[in-house]
């Protein structure tokens, strides 16, 4: 029931129509009997400042921020968590109301830790990996590379269709020389992918390749087995079983769906907003159900 005491959480992004987050968070609020509601708020590019002012004026308690606003929203914050500052991206907001009518807007990023928690959930040794391959150089790849650098000591090959974007990502992350020396950017080709993956323990698809409706697409070539020792993490979660994950299964390699990361980053946001541990399994089940539909 929505009443005068209901605490509101918004999702600002463009588009947000197909987001799983409203179903996931509303189920979590219900499971913990919290009088909170999560609502999708479509905000066109260029309108994020007005949207955040609107959240404050309407008494929203908190929000998620998604594509394309994760960077732009930073200029609206009174404070940002250190990882959000390093990443230059925020996906979680808290609006604190102080004495009188003043408000403080705090920004967080839960994507990086959400990825690490999802890996851990699958039994992967997040501190022990020696070599990883990240395919992609967009916003998601940024959070993945940052979290891998902080969680382990291994080396990372970043492969991207547009090499300049991978190079820019590395120089833009504000890393110390020691961290930069653990990163190498190469153009994405069948040869660089297969060769880098052979030497690695972890392969991450951080591109949009394989996303619905292009479910038959994969970054991995059709006629080459995936090395059996490899853990393959596909950030794409729609569909949960991508072509790449099917290839991993056929090669008896360990495949992990991006759904786990979606749920884990959501669980971390939930804890920031409510102060309570999130009902992770409820959230996962709701997302699985929604994707089946
Ligand atoms: N599981 C989760 O919780 C989670 C969280 C965030 C994102 N994601 C997923 O991660 C993926 C990337 O998201 P993003 O926000 O980083 O997107 P983005 O910023 O738009 O970046 C897209 C990336 O995909 C590459 N790409 C696109 N089409 C390609 C193709 N045909 N061949 C090779 N590379 C191609 C782009 O390469 P160029 O630079 O050459 O264009 C770029 O590196 C999406 O599928 C998104 O749904 C999942």
Q: Quote the tokens at residue 31.
A: 């499971």
**CA 206 / ligand 1 centre spacing (Å):** 5
Q: Check: CB of residue 146 under 8 Å from CB of residue 83.
A: yes
Model pLDDT, residue 213: 95
Q: Which of 286, 261, 292, 244 is nearest to 24 (CA)?
A: 286
Model pLDDT, residue 157: 98
Radius of gyration of the chain (CA): 19
pLDDT digits (tens, 9 = 90+) for 223-271: 999 999 999 999 999 999 999 999 999 999 999 999 999 999 999 999 9
Give the residues surrounding ligand 1 with Cβ less than 6 Å away. 67, 111, 136-141, 160-162, 165, 188, 206-209, 211, 235-237, 258, 261-262, 265
- Residue-range domains of the chain with CATH: 7-109+261-292 (3.40.50.10860), 112-257 (3.40.50.720)
Answer yes or no: 106 catalytic: no
Lowest mean pLDDT among 106-120, 162-176, 191-205: 162-176
Total-model pTM:
0.96
**CA 21 / ligand 1 centre spacing (Å):** 19
Lowest mean pLDDT among 87-101, 106-120, 208-222: 87-101
- Of all protein residues, the one whose alpha carbon is nearest to atom 29 of ligand 1 is 209
**CA 136 / ligand 1 centre spacing (Å):** 6
């Amino acid at each position: 029931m929505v009443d005068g005491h209901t605490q509101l959480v918004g999702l600002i992004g463009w588009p947000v129509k197909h987001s799983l987050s409203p179903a996931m968070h509303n189920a979590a609020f219900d499971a913990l009997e919290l009088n909170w509601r999560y609502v999708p708020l479509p905000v066109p590019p260029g309108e994020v400042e007005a949207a955040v002012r609107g959240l404050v004026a309407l008494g929203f308690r908190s929000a998620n921020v998604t594509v394309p606003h994760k960077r732009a929203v930073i200029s609206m914050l009174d404070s940002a968590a250190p990882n959000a500052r390093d990443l230059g991206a925020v996906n979680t907001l808290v609006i604190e109301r102080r004495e009188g009518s003043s408000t403080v807007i705090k920004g967080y990023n839960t994507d990086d830790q959400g990825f690490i928690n999802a890996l851990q959930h699958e039994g992967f040794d997040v501190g022990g990996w020696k070599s990883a391959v990240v395919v992609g150089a967009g916003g998601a790849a940024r959070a993945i590379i940052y979290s891998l650098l902080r969680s382990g000591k291994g080396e990372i090959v970043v492969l991207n269709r547009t090499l300049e974007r991978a190079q820019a990502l590395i120089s833009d992350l504000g890393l110390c020389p020691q961290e930069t020396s653990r990163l190498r950017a190469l153009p994405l080709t069948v040869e660089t992918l297969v060769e880098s993956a052979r030497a690695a323990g972890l392969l991450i698809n951080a591109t949009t390749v394989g996303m619905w409706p292009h479910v038959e697409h994969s970054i991995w070539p059709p006629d080459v087995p995936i090395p059996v020792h490899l853990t393959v993490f596909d950030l794409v979660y729609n569909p949960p079983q991508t072509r790449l994950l099917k290839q991993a299964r056929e090669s008896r390699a360990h495949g992990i769906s991006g759904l786990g990361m979606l749920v884990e980053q959501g669980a971390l946001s939930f804890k920031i907003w409510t102060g309570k541990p999130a009902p992770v399994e409820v959230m996962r089940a709701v997302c699985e159900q929604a994707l089946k539909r």
